[in-house]
Amino acid sequence: MTVTTITPGFARALPRSVPFSQVVRDSLIMAKRALIKMWHTPETLIDVTLQPILFTLMFTYIFGGAIAGDVKSYLPAFIPGILAQIVLTATAVAGTTLREDMDRGVFDRFKSLPMARIAPLAGALMADVVRYLLAATLTFGIAFLIGYRPGAGFGGVVAATLLVCAVAWALSWIFAFIGVTAKSARGVQGISFMILSPSRSCRTSLCPSTPCRPGCKASSTSTL
């Protein structure tokens, strides 16, 4: 008969890091969890489904004739700006979602699992890329239906979509940091709105900066 000695947890030499392959694998698993969560709660996709359609149609037919004379002349200057605005605005949801999961104790359960510490955070942000792609696709689709014809062709549209999604994913880490440090989801929403408001308002994507004062003109032309 053999006796097995069990070493207590506090006496074990646990690794302080995990292989990069495990980080990628765990992050993909967490991304799959986030996608399943989106599938079961489709109302969380309203900001990247209905908003691109409403904003594109509303701003085009309200400002198009007044600014450019006709809608078709307004679209080449408007669509890139509204694309950036819609996709970058969607990044703020990352922080709110993380804060809600932390308030419900989901992250406490993740800590007890043998996975990379960064996986729950990275997986959630990786899944959000699907939201950005959906928003960009709908924006370009509606623009094409109302007469927008990009000069760079289909390749330019794909490149612009990938670029804006990459920038949005990078910015989502800022809002994720706010989400894990703020005290409540409502606080995350307020801070995110305060950060996004100047970038959405002080730009020339919806109208030209010609009538603006010199200081405002310089700010609008240098802001995303």
93-104 pLDDT tens trace: 888 888 888 888
Percentage of residues in the chain with pLDDT exceeding 90?
Answer: 17
**Is residue 10 in some structural domain?**
no
**Is residue 3 in some structural domain?**
no
Q: pLDDT per residue over 158-196, tens digit each?
A: 998 999 999 999 989 999 998 888 888 888 888 888 887
Check whether 60 has a pLDDT greater than 90: no
**Is residue 66 in some structural domain?**
yes
Residue 152's φ and ψ, nearest 5 degrees, are -85, -5
- pTM of the shown model: 0.79
Q: How confident is the model at residue 59, as a pLDDT? A: 82
Q: pLDDT per residue over 71-94, tens digit each?
A: 777 788 788 888 888 888 888 888
When divided into structural domains, the chain yields a total of 1
Identify the sign of the CA torsion 185, 168, 61, 154.
Answer: negative
Percentage of residues in the chain with pLDDT exceeding 70?
Answer: 80
Structure confidence at residue 201 as a pLDDT band (50, 70, 90): low
Q: Which residue has the tokens 């691109």?
A: 52
Structure confidence at residue 25 as a pLDDT band (50, 70, 90): very high
Nearest to 197 by CA among 100, 46, 88, 67: 88
**Is residue 149 in some structural domain?**
yes
**Is residue 18 in some structural domain?**
no
> What mean pLDDT do residues 108-114 have?
81
Nearest to 41 by CA among 111, 117, 93, 83: 93
DSSP code string of the chain: ---PPPPPGGGS---SS--HHHHHHHHHHHHHHHHHHHHH-GGGGHHHHHHHHHHHHHHHHHHHHHHHSSHHHHHHHHHHHHHHHHHHHHTHHHHHHHHHHHHTTHHHHHHTSSS-TTHHHHHHHHHHHHHHHHHHHHHHHHHHHTT---TTHHHHHHHHHHHHHHHHHHHHHHHHHHHHHSSSHHHHHHHHHHHHHHHHHSSSSSS-STTS-HHHHHHHHH--
| Domain boundaries, position 60 | 43-207+215-222
Q: What's the mean per-residue pLDDT of the chain?
A: 80
Q: How confident is the model at residue 132, as a pLDDT? A: 92
Q: How confident is the model at residue 130, as a pLDDT? A: 92
**Is residue 146 in some structural domain?**
yes
> What mean pLDDT do residues 124-148 have?
90
**Is residue 36 in some structural domain?**
no
